Chain A
Amino acid sequence: MVNIAFNYPQTTMNPTKRFTWARAFFAFTLVLLAAAHAIAQPNTNLKFYAHPGFDFYNNSSQNSSSPYFRGGPLVVFLTSQISDKVSVAGELNMHYMATTGAEIELERMYIKYDWKSHLHVSVGRMYSPIGFWNVNYNFGLVLQPNISRPRILNPTHDGGFIQTRDTGLQLGGDNIGKAGFFYRLFFANGIGRNGGLLGTPYQLGSQLSYTAQLGIEPSEGLKFSVSGVINDLPNGSITQFDVPVPESMRNTLMTASIAHMNVDKKLELIAEFYANTHSYQTINEKTLTGSIVYVGYKTSTKVVPYFFAEFLNFANGDPYYPLLNPYTNQQYVSSAEYNLGLRFRFNSNLVFKTELAALNQDVFGWSAGLKTQLAVGF
């Protein structure tokens, strides 16, 4: 199960943005402007999210124990209903990572036109319509049922594996017919697009990525969906790890998802499966699979005990992945994780979560842990 990475020269590690006072000033000014705008406009709403926490892991086979305070990001989320049919959303994430330092990232910024229930159009940067988790829970962790975002959905710009957000044009529709059919079609830049505004225009890359999601919601909150992504990466394309692809290839992702999350119902369920395949010209096809299961039960309006498990399985020797993840300085290894958790909601703006965790990683073996998180939205 251990991933043996292809050995090729690594180019400049980590394209991320170093924190500067100018950026801090810009972000602070932006937040102040947004706050002033939100106060002045009743149709504009500004929310902040944060989720500090503390983890403790122990691995007896590695003779290691790790107490660790998580700072978490400060996330600014802004929405505005600028007309009956047009809304805007923006999400700014300010955080600190040990390997890359402080960063500010624009997670989302899109304009949405609700033509009618069966057709809405969004343009900008948004979460890719894959599965249930990715489009519903990201940085507003006061809304997320457990502590950690699934590893399979780690953002690519933080060394994650699949494209979880992208810039492009999305068509969608909901509540079609008695079965509550819904769909999303997303045409986006995908992995392998170089340069952006600062690059040479004719070298931006030649292939878009294409994502489709189809699903039904037969009763409110009960969703079944499948999604697929196709992203061709010609020779010379740059991966999210800032290195060129080993050779011309096709990146495909298939997901299947069942979710039952309804404010009126006690049982909460999310089960998803992901298969990310790299098809090369000469190298054997490699597939990364991931699956997650979340089950919770509302024992009262405030308390929810839950179980969360995730399984991540790398194919041997996929040359797409560097030997070490440049964002975490760790190997890509398969893992299985089990968490028993408890969520306590003081009110809509303050949620405490704690989890007993058991994590089995290739190479490192079993670790046992205790995780806590205080998530706020204000």
Chain B
Amino acid sequence: MNKILFFIAFAISIAAPLQSIEKPGVELAIIVNKDNTLDKLSITEARLYWMRRGAQKNWASLKTIVLPVDRKGASMEKAMFYKLVVKLSESETDSYFAAKQYQSAENPPVKFASDREIIQYVADNKAAIGYVNIASLKEEDRSQVKVVCVVAE
């Protein structure tokens, strides 16, 4: 019996570091265009802007409506963003944006399949706000987009 317990404990001690190597802690970067005058957002503020809620429907300094950007399909980044920032299920969020679209002609978030496409869209649109894995941001991207919030589990 002791041998079995020792074997289980040994297996766990081996497996635990392996697991941490396979799933390193992911950090999300919430990004806006370089022309956006905001340099920092709390998670709550980022949520309000991304969801275009209340007065956060517009960028006051840019005088334009906010353009949220989302990921297509399922991804680790998307799951993390919805859990930690939006704090609603994807279905609830889709309903929320569908209602805003139907009620006031506000387009739902533009969706892209990769971080690279999101970075490019945010770089090209001064009103955009999106999220990417911070590891996807290259040095040259930082001259075109700004990280205003970092989210980690």
What residue in chain B is nearest A349 (Cβ atoms)?
B94
Q: Are the C-beta atoms of B64 and A87 separated by less than 8 Å?
A: no
Q: Are the C-beta atoms of A143 and B95 separated by less than 8 Å?
A: yes
A345 within 8 Å of B (CB atoms): yes
What residue in chain B is nearest A115 (Cβ atoms)?
B63
Q: Are the C-beta atoms of B98 and A140 separated by less than 8 Å?
A: yes
Residue-by-residue, is B101-114 near A (CB-CB < 8 Å gives 1, otherwise 0)?
11101111010000
Contacts of A148 in B (CB 8 A): none
Query: Quick one: which of A110-140 are within 8 Å of B by CB?
Result: 110, 112, 114, 116-117, 135-136, 138, 140
B144 within 8 Å of A (CB atoms): no
Q: Are the C-beta atoms of A117 and B102 separated by less than 8 Å?
A: no
Query: Quick one: which of A88-110 are within 8 Å of B by CB?
Result: 88-89, 110
Q: Are the C-beta atoms of A220 and B92 separated by less than 8 Å?
A: no
Residue in B54, B63, B88, B93 whose CB lies within 8 Å of A220:
B54
CA distance A220 to B108 in the complex (A): 19
CA distance A312 to B101 in the complex (A): 30
A191 within 8 Å of B (CB atoms): no
Q: Are the C-beta atoms of B110 and A180 separated by less than 8 Å?
A: no
A311 within 8 Å of B (CB atoms): no
B76 within 8 Å of A (CB atoms): no
CA distance A84 to B67 in the complex (A): 9
A-B CB pair tally, cutoff 8 Å: 84
CA distance A79 to B107 in the complex (A): 6
What residue in chain B is nearest A127 (Cβ atoms)?
B103
A156 within 8 Å of B (CB atoms): no
B contact residues, total (Cβ < 8 Å): 33
Q: Are the C-beta atoms of A116 and B63 separated by less than 8 Å?
A: yes
Contacts of A45 in B (CB 8 A): 101, 107-108
CA distance A301 to B92 in the complex (A): 8
B78 within 8 Å of A (CB atoms): no
CA distance A263 to B92 in the complex (A): 8
Residue in A80, A143, A345, A347 whose CB lies within 8 Å of B102:
A143
CA distance A80 to B106 in the complex (A): 8
Query: Quick one: which of B118-151 are within 8 Å of A by CB?
Result: 121, 126-127
A23 within 8 Å of B (CB atoms): no
Query: Quick one: which of A336-378 are within 8 Å of B by CB?
Result: 345, 347-349, 377
A77 within 8 Å of B (CB atoms): yes
CA distance A268 to B108 in the complex (A): 23
Given contacts A79-B107, A136-B103, A175-B54, contact A85 B91 (CB under 8 A): no
Q: Are the C-beta atoms of A87 and B103 separated by less than 8 Å?
A: no
A43 within 8 Å of B (CB atoms): yes
Q: Are the C-beta atoms of A143 and B65 separated by less than 8 Å?
A: no
Q: Are the C-beta atoms of B92 and A117 separated by less than 8 Å?
A: no
CA distance A180 to B57 in the complex (A): 13
A81 within 8 Å of B (CB atoms): yes
Contacts of A377 in B (CB 8 A): 98
Residue-by-residue, is A219-260 near B (CB-CB < 8 Å gives 1, otherwise 0)?
010000000000000000000000000000000000000000
Q: Are the C-beta atoms of B63 and A79 separated by less than 8 Å?
A: no
Contacts of B98 in A (CB 8 A): 47, 140, 142-143, 348, 377
A199 within 8 Å of B (CB atoms): no
A42 within 8 Å of B (CB atoms): yes
Query: Quick one: which of B42-63 are within 8 Å of A by CB?
Result: 53-55, 57-58, 60, 63
B79 within 8 Å of A (CB atoms): no
CA distance A347 to B126 in the complex (A): 32
A165 to chain B, nearest CB (A): 14
Q: Are the C-beta atoms of B91 and A263 separated by less than 8 Å?
A: no
Q: Are the C-beta atoms of B106 and A87 separated by less than 8 Å?
A: yes
B9 within 8 Å of A (CB atoms): no
For the complex with contacts A47-B98, A138-B102, A263-B92, 11 further pairs of A-B residues with Cβ separation under 8 Å are A42-B121, A80-B107, A85-B64, A116-B58, A136-B103, A140-B98, A175-B55, A301-B92, A347-B91, A348-B91, A349-B94
* 24 sample A-B contacts, Cβ–Cβ < 8 Å, listed by A number: A44-B107, A45-B101, A45-B107, A47-B98, A84-B65, A84-B127, A87-B106, A89-B105, A117-B55, A117-B57, A117-B60, A135-B103, A140-B102, A143-B98, A263-B88, A301-B89, A301-B92, A347-B91, A347-B94, A348-B90, A348-B91, A348-B92, A348-B94, A377-B98
